[in-house]
Amino acid sequence: MDKMNHDVQVEKIKSAISHSLLIRGGRVIDPANNVDKIADVLIVDGKIAAVGEIENIEAHDEIDATGKIVAPGLIDMHVHFREPGQEAKEDFLSGSMAAAAGGFTRVATMPNTSPVIDTAALVRSMKKRAEDVGIINIEIIGALTKGQKGLELAEVGDMSAEGAAAFSDDGHFDSNARVFLNALDYLQTFNKVIICHEEETTLCEGGVMNEGTRSAMLGLKGRPTVAEDIAVARDVLLAEYTGGRVHIAHISSAVAVDIVRQAKKRGVKVTAEVTPQHLTMTDDLVDPADSSTKINPPLRSKKDITACLEGLLDGTIDIIVTDHSPHAPEEKDREYIYAPSGFPGLETSLGVLLTELYLTGKIDIKTLIAKMTSEPARIFSLEGGSLAVNNNADITIIDPNLEWTVDAKDFYTRGSHSPFVGRKLKGRAVGTIVNGRLIETNQTKISLKKVD
């Protein structure tokens, strides 16, 4: 998108003129308010004005949502938008357009950038950048330690004051238990969550895929699940000891899931997230000739993805995230062992989940939507995740029956290497509304009808 078109789009979304939009006849699913019914949604000046059977109202615009699902805007608490310093991989504009195309109205971007987002000044700068450039709502996650080196706490208090949504050294395990314990103690003052990347470094150094039969067959060094299990167990115990809050990033191991389950039963303040890839793909799909499947943590065994799904259904795992991690094409076009870990997920996440989990009967639609809306909003104390009257009108309209094929040429993200490319999916977001304004993307299949 060129700058002129981008400026026009931003102006459309952020304009403060009096405006009303009526979404008619959709299946409104709002888990935060226990709503699941055919209803209309009225938006006035960017706010939810009414939900129900709305008659004798002439809005400026109408959307016919018959046969569609109308849900709170999707929230993703784990993305990598690569600003500052790594814009060749992604930036706030390309990332937020990818998010809008995938149905996301709010995301949180990780701090492992160049420089690392580890000061209040950088949080302030990135929040301003997000406001100026972002098409959707972008939250900033601050680094837990200076430079993400795990040796000394970063300016977490000052970053909290500047609006950091959470803290994480994502991409790194904080191996210094004393520093991590101090962080848990200190952050209770600000009621902030630590998002933990859980892999005991010494057990997985040099590993490029899950350690198991498949890695042995391929002759690739593995990353064992026990590395994740040990890390999760330590952080859960420290959270229990301090009373602090930990959130387990991209959980992928059956044992780790059970550690979190048992900790929750003891009242530990622990939550967890899982990605679509760790719910639907196994290490059997790893092909040394295709680096798109190289992620961290790696694709695991069938036993692990079954455990992750069970954990999602019983409440052990609280939310679904994408871990959207795009890289420049030339970086991924390398041998498997040398290619960086990660792939873009914002534009495929919902379609994969609907196809592989909802349409196969493995999860009901209300639970799926809750894990992507109300639950992340609750855990991280965010705006959104609800269609309650007077809330900002951040809404995702979903067509559960739309069949489509993933094509990297249609991506807004700058990353093109995805293991879902070529996959035929059923269901996707067809309309993304931010602050009451419909965002136009190549994937928007909902039309505004002018009533004037």
Give the residue numbers marked as catalytic: 323
Strand, helix or coil for residue 99: helix
Which residue in 295, 288, 291 sits closest to 339, CA to CA? 291
Strand, helix or coil for residue 191: coil
Phi, psi at residue 117, to the nearest 5°?
Answer: -80, 90
Where helices occur in 219-314 by DSSP H, the ranges are 225-242, 254-265, 277-280, 302-314
Phi, psi at residue 391, to the nearest 5°?
Answer: -70, 155
Place of tokens 């094509």: 407
Burial of residue 452, with CB atoms counted within 10 A of its CB: 0-12 exposed, 13-18 middle, 19 or more buried: exposed
8 Å CB contact between 445 and 60: no
| Residue 64, H or E segment | strand 61-64
8 Å CB contact between 332 and 340: yes
Handedness of CA 194, 197, 202, 206 (dihedral sign): negative
Place of tokens 């993200």: 413
Phi, psi at residue 266, to the nearest 5°?
Answer: -85, 0
Which residue in 251, 217, 205, 206 sits closest to 231, CA to CA? 251
Strand, helix or coil for residue 70: strand
Residue 32: half-sphere exposure toward Cβ, Cα within 13 Å:
21
**End-to-end C-alpha distance for the chain, whole angstroms:** 30
Amino acid symbol at 338: Y
Burial of residue 4, with CB atoms counted within 10 A of its CB: 0-12 exposed, 13-18 middle, 19 or more buried: exposed
Handedness of CA 363, 365, 371, 375 (dihedral sign): negative
Where helices occur in 86-224 by DSSP H, the ranges are 92-102, 120-133, 156-161, 177-187, 201-204, 213-218
Amino acid symbol at 47: K
Which residue in 432, 433, 423 sits closest to 403, CA to CA? 423
